[in-house]
Structure 1
Amino acid sequence: MGESVPVSCPTCSRRHTFVVSVYPCACGAPVAPPLARDAPPQPITHRTWTDEWVMVRCAACGRQGHWPQPELGCPCGAVLRIPVRPVNPAGPPREPQESHEPQDTARVRPTLSRRPAAPRPSFHPLTIRTARDVVTAAALYLRWLGFHGIVQAEEQPASGIDLRGPEVVAQVDPTTSPASLRSVETLWLHGLSASAVSVFFSLAGYADDARARADDLGVPLFVMDLTGAPQPVNTPATELVSSGA
């Protein structure tokens, strides 16, 4: 678990305890952005690519890479950017800077099997009436694809990972807003950490930049309708349906 800091929302003054997410470096060591405890959180009113990422150095091997900017959602509706200490340019020689952005994904991303798929029976969808039904329908679909040991989170997890298995992690977005770029990238990082395939299901589809990034990262994207039948919306998803798990 990463370090925690007390956070006071500047909009409503609510107090929270924020725990930073930990991700694996290429060397295998856990890495988390170092929080700037003396700097106040800032409400996010406008997003840019630069603001979505922070530079972090691995203490074990000295590599530098881009990691998701820590954020906290307050019940009042404000989304707060948690300040991070900048990387100290001084220090011992290290390997060339390594980016965790999509350009480096060919080497590190979990790849989907392309072997011929074994015959599968027809998928029998679950009619969706509640947000919970969306998660259950996605779990059924992953099992139909051939993933085993799928475990469904009892409540909405802070990580955003609703479904897990030995070879897969999945996020299910039952809201009426298209899934965001950050959601896709964070899911991919969780899959990278678990050496698992990352799969995304959404009722409302995906923002254009989220879909483009999923193509770069090899994240299968599915949309669901109220019949509970997922439909692939990008090439990685089509390949997954064709090959199975």
Structure 2
Amino acid sequence: MPESVSVSVRCPACRGAHRYTAPSYPCVCGAPVALPLDGNAAPTPVVHRVWQDDWVTLRCGHCGRPGEWPRPELGCPCGTLLRIPLTDPDATPAPGPRETGAAARPALPPVPIHSARDAVTATVLYLRKLGHGDIRRADQRPPSGIGLAGRGIVALLDPSAHRATPRDVECLWLTAMAESARCLYFSLAGYAPDARESADRLGVPLFLLDLTGTPQPVNAPADALDATRT
């Protein structure tokens, strides 16, 4: 089967065009495993997350061992979470993708998301990459989700299957203002369009946490922060 490195993705909600590159995962034998993307099929919006549907079993092309990997997903800036189709979920994947174009930002360690605890771990690791090494559970419990805090920073992680609302974004912003801190929002399910508008107006960075444990920036404040990570 031909190697699939990256595919063009068009969001069915806003018609925005994106480029998605298949992530590479380490097999237990040490060889990289990449998911075979289908560039001819349309992406599927994820409306209701069902955990057992979020994983695919693929064999390592080097040792032949089967492994479970997160299905590839892409967060559109409009707030829609897109599932990228695969050519054949039962096929042997090709070796890891090759880097092309401009130099990529430093890779994050993979933390596949199986539970809320995994989501917290991935978020904390990302915040450390942004220079915040003192992350802890927030003293003040948020109305929804999981609150995290560090020196000069407040973060909200929502591991639920519901898209964030404007009220969620505004509550986080108010909490941060009260503590004279910067705030960040991490969501597994994405953001409603009006929540994205509120975040843009208030300057709240929004991140979509995909099943590989990689926070993807979905607005300009998040892009600016992501560019600073080490």
Q: TM-score, normalised by structure 1?
A: 0.48
Kindly report the root-mean-square deviation, in angstroms, between the aligned alpha carbons of the 2 structures: 2.4
User: Residues of 1 paired with 2:118 and 2:107: CA distance?
Assistant: 20
1:243 aligns with 2:225: no
Q: Which residue of 2 aligns with 1:129?
A: 114
1:151 aligns with 2:129: no
**How do 1:54-203 and structure 2 match up within 5 A?**
121-152=106-137, 157-160=141-144, 162-203=147-188
CA contact (8 A) 1:125 1:229 kept: yes
1:122 to partner: Cα distance: 2.8
**How do 1:40-55 and structure 2 match up within 5 A?**
none
C-alpha distance after superposition, 1:85-138 (max 9, x if no partner): xxxxxxxxxxxxxxxxxxxxxxxxxxxxxxxxxxx8532131111012112211
1:152 to partner: Cα distance: 2.8
Instruction: Give the aligned residue type for 2:188.
Output: L
User: Residues of 2 paired with 1:222 and 1:186: CA distance?
Assistant: 16
Q: Which residue of 2 aligns with 1:207?
A: 192
Q: Which residue of 2 aligns with 1:87?
A: none
Greater fraction of residues in strand:
2
Does 1 or 2 have the higher relative contact order (CA < 8 Å, sep 6+)? 2
- Gaps spanning 5+ residues in structure 2: where? 1-104
CA contact (8 A) 1:139 1:152 kept: no
1:244 to partner: Cα distance: 4.4
User: Residues of 2 paired with 1:199 and 1:242: CA distance?
Assistant: 15
User: Residues of 2 paired with 1:150 and 1:141: CA distance?
Assistant: 10
1:146 to partner: Cα distance: 1.1
CA contact (8 A) 1:135 1:162 kept: no
Q: Percent identity?
A: 52
User: Residues of 1 paired with 2:167 and 2:112: CA distance?
Assistant: 29
- Gaps spanning 5+ residues in structure 1: where? 1-119
User: Residues of 1 paired with 2:212 and 2:172: CA distance?
Assistant: 25
1:153 to partner: Cα distance: 5.4
Instruction: Give the aligned residue type for 1:234.
Output: N
User: Residues of 2 paired with 1:230 and 1:143: CA distance?
Assistant: 13
User: Residues of 2 paired with 1:125 and 1:212: CA distance?
Assistant: 30
User: Residues of 2 paired with 1:201 and 1:121: CA distance?
Assistant: 19
User: Residues of 1 paired with 2:148 and 2:191: CA distance?
Assistant: 19
SS of corresponding position for 1:243: coil
SS of corresponding position for 2:227: helix
1:159 to partner: Cα distance: 4.5
Q: TM-score, normalised by structure 2?
A: 0.50
C-alpha distance after superposition, 1:199-237 (max 9, x if no partner): 000011001110001001000000011110010000000
Query: How many pairs does the alignment contain?
Result: 126
